A and B are shown apart, each in its own frame.
Chain A
């Protein structure tokens, strides 16, 4: 049974905490209890530290009692993906390679969460090193979809999506390199956003593909996502790729509808491979916008057919380099048996990494090798610019682009594990936002006949998160998809 507190909206929780009607310790306890009830079945968390979480909550309560000023998320539990470093807490990326690794520093987003008064409630499961679309690549255990536990929740931020979908946390942080926030948000029926590249600091985010990775929020509603992004966004002198632009107060404007909204509908996202029930729900969502006065306009993203190929060259190239540091020398897994330095590297990496990670490292090493780099890596960079160019042209005509998040609703565990290519295609609609550096979000827009959530993807031009939130909220106000709870949470 779900605690009545756990099913309240984030805004309500914040009000209750601020009015001292609710104490953070009680709220945190309620969510910890919810985790205790459900997570054995769902596998959303890889590390919980009840004492640390309750201590943070108690500190917030004490500060409130003392009348001290509070951060915007004061007392709110937030689950974080196991890819973000937090001082003194293990950070494993759900990999054997980093089992037992405890970072000595806070990621900038973690420091910002603490500043905002949030209570870090636990660390969530994921595809190993954020490589995967189903959550099945965790070295520890898979995560299950709360709407149907025989199905995958999406990935790679599987645990963060499930934690919020099953109301084990009101908010969570994920990371999105090719769809790793939007895809599981869509498949789990919650709100997830990937901000513009550079909007949120990557310092302390364990890198998969540095030029694509971005940290972003999960929430049950648009306002929650807006609040969380507001707390973590901003320039960071520790991240050269973070952009020095003021952060708008998204939560203050989220309820202002956009007049004369022009929505681009990319024909390429409604093509072969899109499941009919998904298409139906997405088209219905577009009709809702139309009824709100929005203008729908067909747009073309001609290079989007190359997006998956481009992504799997750039992301794997960067990954092959980013993951070179896991060599068993300074930290992380080291093999026990070896006779030479070379063997130590081979055995440690051979034992420490799972199959998908190895597959991507090998792809990346190949794509960057002398004689091949021009054909693959460099060519992919050229295509990446063309993809960005497609979006630039489209956004000269429309304010947001809308379409499906994924071609199908959640598939079954094990269904695609032996076919990496078909797994890769589940990110077909989300990948181009990473390649182009754009913000994108997923909001619930319906259910399949089997009762599985369907997500609507909205994308905007760089640094137009405010517009995205407002557009998303326009739709959310007219629908109740986001208020539905998965069966197991009833």
Chain B
């Protein structure tokens, strides 16, 4: 028997607004000072009323457009009612039957895996809906074991969220992780969320079950399990892996299918220390949230022209940019992905370099290796990196113009960096030429100097000459090295050609 893994995700994303969704309080992450970013509205005080944050709504629309969703021309707000101490009104303002967006998709690319021999693949994950809602506060329970009072921090209450619900289109834990990575990339590109998982800006619930193949060709489903509150990509992947194994084992032992007695939908949590999911609610009775339209808020109407206006403001989505980098700059899929995956500013940096040096491949090589290495070492973001794109572009342009060698360029690059580390100032383009001049790194066009150096080197390298003539082509490398050492800034290709010519005349 074999099975298909069926996974759907519900992802909560905090939108990057200055103020909360229905009041003017700050949305800053501020766990050390509880209940300071509050007002009558987000405290749910008697008489206070919500007013929609229009900017937050626009960010939500951007998010949905990024997910290729349809934007509803009419959307409304509903109250989802339940009692919990972190929910001061006794209901959450959310969207029930008429979400502001629906029916989108995200394409997820899965790289080939050399180890397992698995080929690269891609998966279109359909988005069922994305709706907007307010976040709850945070309960803090006494963990000392002394049974002290629980406390509630309402700083987070009223932070705008978008809940993204996928269709059950994901077929492995890896696909789920890749989907989340792609989603995070998209949302940070669109500047709608910082997706900081430590601060809870992106939270995920996974619905997992198996479709087990039967001998007659049919399939039976195992009971659906919702794993709640996964707060890292790795934990999401691990939790799903554990669920797959657990459900498969349980099905083999009991044969219980979804809908059978004992085959109800259940809710589980994930314990990363044990690498296991654990039961939260055994029998998922359809909770009755008594949704109804919030009479304190008015419906939101979105015309096609308003949607078009928001669409115009949107930056290029990462997936489109990746394809464009491949076609426009002749990058390999791998290089394009490395650049795009570093985030929008990094990709902007790349395009800035290309603008100055007109050589996408050269720029990609430098950026994916040298620049990436240096910012990682320095624990910097690309925005903080001292060598600005026009400077790096100018440096690479000098290679293309055959003014300096790649090796010399690396030396200049290193020098620019160590200078900026000392002076904490970004180097200018003119500094490149000063360093090249000071260190004598300019490519020497002086044929006489090169010829003289070759003659001197050949004069003392009888063995290397013999080796080369004996068929050992590598022997010439040592000769080139010696000439280059004597004539700094000589073009190695020119030197090589001249040495071969000189040897043939010996």
The reply on B449 being an interface residue by CB < 8 A is no
Contacts of A210 in B (CB 8 A): 295-296
A91 contacts B46, CB within 8 Å?
Answer: yes
Given contacts A207-B47, A321-B81, 7 further A-B contacts (CB under 8 A): A85-B47, A98-B46, A202-B47, A241-B295, A321-B90, A329-B88, A368-B291
Contacts of B296 in A (CB 8 A): 207, 210, 240-241
The reply on B502 being an interface residue by CB < 8 A is no
Closest chain A CB from B6 CB (angstroms):
26
A331 vs B44: C-alpha distance when bound (angstroms): 10
Contact partner, B46, options A237, A325, A329, A345, Cβ 8 Å: A325
The reply on A449 being an interface residue by CB < 8 A is no
Contact pattern, B 44-75, Cβ under 8 Å of A = 1, otherwise 0 = 11111111100000000000000000000000
Contact pattern, A 236-274, Cβ under 8 Å of B = 1, otherwise 0 = 011111000000000000000000000000000000000
Closest chain B CB from A69 CB (angstroms):
30
A329 contacts B152, CB within 8 Å?
Answer: yes
Contact pattern, A 92-132, Cβ under 8 Å of B = 1, otherwise 0 = 01000010010111010000000000000000000000000
The reply on B1 being an interface residue by CB < 8 A is no
Residue in chain A with minimal CB distance to B52: A240
Can you list 20 contacts pairing A with B, beta carbon distance less than 8 Å?
A85-B45, A85-B46, A93-B46, A103-B45, A103-B46, A204-B48, A210-B295, A237-B51, A238-B49, A240-B49, A240-B51, A240-B52, A240-B296, A321-B79, A321-B292, A324-B81, A324-B89, A330-B44, A330-B88, A373-B290
8 A Cβ contacts from B251-308 to A: 286, 288, 290-292, 295-298
Interface centre among B40, B51, B83, B85 (most CB of A within 10 A): B83
Residue in chain A with minimal CB distance to B90: A324
Known: A104-B40, A240-B298, A241-B296. A369 touches B47 (CB 8 A): no
A209 vs B51: C-alpha distance when bound (angstroms): 18
Closest chain B CB from A312 CB (angstroms):
16
Known: A103-B45, A104-B40, A240-B52. A325 touches B295 (CB 8 A): no
The reply on B43 being an interface residue by CB < 8 A is yes
Which 7 pairs, one residue from A and one from B, show the smallest C-beta to C-beta distance? A324-B90, A210-B295, A211-B295, A368-B290, A206-B46, A204-B47, A85-B47
Q: Bin the interface of chain B by size.
A: 20 to 34
Contact pattern, A 185-212, Cβ under 8 Å of B = 1, otherwise 0 = 0000000000000000011111101110
The reply on A365 being an interface residue by CB < 8 A is yes
Residue in chain A with minimal CB distance to B79: A321
The reply on A465 being an interface residue by CB < 8 A is no
A202 contacts B49, CB within 8 Å?
Answer: yes
The reply on B91 being an interface residue by CB < 8 A is yes
A369 contacts B288, CB within 8 Å?
Answer: yes
B152 contacts A240, CB within 8 Å?
Answer: no
Known: A329-B152, A330-B88, A341-B85. A317 touches B49 (CB 8 A): no
Contact pattern, A 207-235, Cβ under 8 Å of B = 1, otherwise 0 = 10111000000000000000000000000
Residue in chain A with minimal CB distance to B22: A240
Contacts of B79 in A (CB 8 A): 321
Interface centre among B47, B288, B292 (most CB of A within 10 A): B47
B47 contacts A329, CB within 8 Å?
Answer: no
Closest chain B CB from A198 CB (angstroms):
10
Contact pattern, B 177-192, Cβ under 8 Å of A = 1, otherwise 0 = 0000000000000000
Closest chain B CB from A462 CB (angstroms):
16
The reply on A370 being an interface residue by CB < 8 A is yes
A341 vs B295: C-alpha distance when bound (angstroms): 29
The reply on A469 being an interface residue by CB < 8 A is no
Contacts of B290 in A (CB 8 A): 320-321, 365, 368-370, 373
Closest chain B CB from A189 CB (angstroms):
30
Contacts of A207 in B (CB 8 A): 46-47, 296
The reply on A429 being an interface residue by CB < 8 A is no
The reply on A327 being an interface residue by CB < 8 A is yes
B85 contacts A329, CB within 8 Å?
Answer: yes
Contacts of B44 in A (CB 8 A): 325, 330
Known: A240-B50, A325-B89, A330-B88. A317 touches B45 (CB 8 A): no
A84 vs B48: C-alpha distance when bound (angstroms): 11
Known: A203-B49, A240-B49, A369-B290. A105 touches B90 (CB 8 A): no
A103 vs B47: C-alpha distance when bound (angstroms): 9
The reply on A61 being an interface residue by CB < 8 A is no
Residue in chain A with minimal CB distance to B43: A330
Contacts of A377 in B (CB 8 A): 292
Contacts of A98 in B (CB 8 A): 46
The reply on A318 being an interface residue by CB < 8 A is yes
B297 contacts A240, CB within 8 Å?
Answer: yes
Residue in chain A with minimal CB distance to B41: A238
A211 vs B293: C-alpha distance when bound (angstroms): 10
A325 vs B43: C-alpha distance when bound (angstroms): 10
Closest chain B CB from A275 CB (angstroms):
34
Residue in chain B with minimal CB distance to A345: B83
Contacts of A329 in B (CB 8 A): 85, 88, 152
Contact pattern, B 144-159, Cβ under 8 Å of A = 1, otherwise 0 = 0000000010000000
A331 vs B88: C-alpha distance when bound (angstroms): 10
A368 vs B286: C-alpha distance when bound (angstroms): 15
A240 vs B298: C-alpha distance when bound (angstroms): 6
B47 contacts A205, CB within 8 Å?
Answer: yes
Contacts of B91 in A (CB 8 A): 321, 324
A325 vs B291: C-alpha distance when bound (angstroms): 16
Contacts of B295 in A (CB 8 A): 209-211, 241, 318
Contact pattern, B 387-427, Cβ under 8 Å of A = 1, otherwise 0 = 00000000000000000000000000000000000000000
Interface centre among B46, B83, B91 (most CB of A within 10 A): B46
A101 vs B45: C-alpha distance when bound (angstroms): 10
Contact pattern, A 306-336, Cβ under 8 Å of B = 1, otherwise 0 = 0000000000011011011111011100000
8 A Cβ contacts from B336-356 to A: none
Closest chain B CB from A367 CB (angstroms):
9
B292 contacts A317, CB within 8 Å?
Answer: yes
A107 contacts B83, CB within 8 Å?
Answer: no
Contacts of B49 in A (CB 8 A): 202-203, 238-241
Known: A321-B91, A345-B83, A369-B288. A101 touches B298 (CB 8 A): no
Residue in chain A with minimal CB distance to B287: A370
Contact pattern, B 29-49, Cβ under 8 Å of A = 1, otherwise 0 = 000000000001001111111
Contacts of B50 in A (CB 8 A): 240
Contacts of B43 in A (CB 8 A): 330
Residue in chain B with minimal CB distance to A366: B290
B40 contacts A105, CB within 8 Å?
Answer: yes
A363 vs B489: C-alpha distance when bound (angstroms): 90
8 A Cβ contacts from B447-464 to A: none
Contacts of A320 in B (CB 8 A): 290
Closest chain A CB from B99 CB (angstroms):
19
Contacts of B297 in A (CB 8 A): 240-241
Closest chain A CB from B157 CB (angstroms):
10
Residue in chain A with minimal CB distance to B86: A329
B45 contacts A331, CB within 8 Å?
Answer: yes
A329 vs B45: C-alpha distance when bound (angstroms): 12
Closest chain A CB from B431 CB (angstroms):
54
Interface centre among B48, B51, B88, B291 (most CB of A within 10 A): B48
Interface centre among A101, A321, A341 (most CB of B within 10 A): A321
A101 vs B43: C-alpha distance when bound (angstroms): 14
B40 contacts A370, CB within 8 Å?
Answer: no
A273 vs B7: C-alpha distance when bound (angstroms): 63
8 A Cβ contacts from A31-55 to B: none
Contacts of A238 in B (CB 8 A): 49, 51
Contacts of B288 in A (CB 8 A): 369-370
A199 vs B46: C-alpha distance when bound (angstroms): 21
A318 vs B89: C-alpha distance when bound (angstroms): 13
Residue in chain B with minimal CB distance to A314: B295
Contacts of A370 in B (CB 8 A): 286, 288, 290
B152 contacts A330, CB within 8 Å?
Answer: yes
A203 vs B85: C-alpha distance when bound (angstroms): 24
Closest chain B CB from A378 CB (angstroms):
9
A365 vs B152: C-alpha distance when bound (angstroms): 26
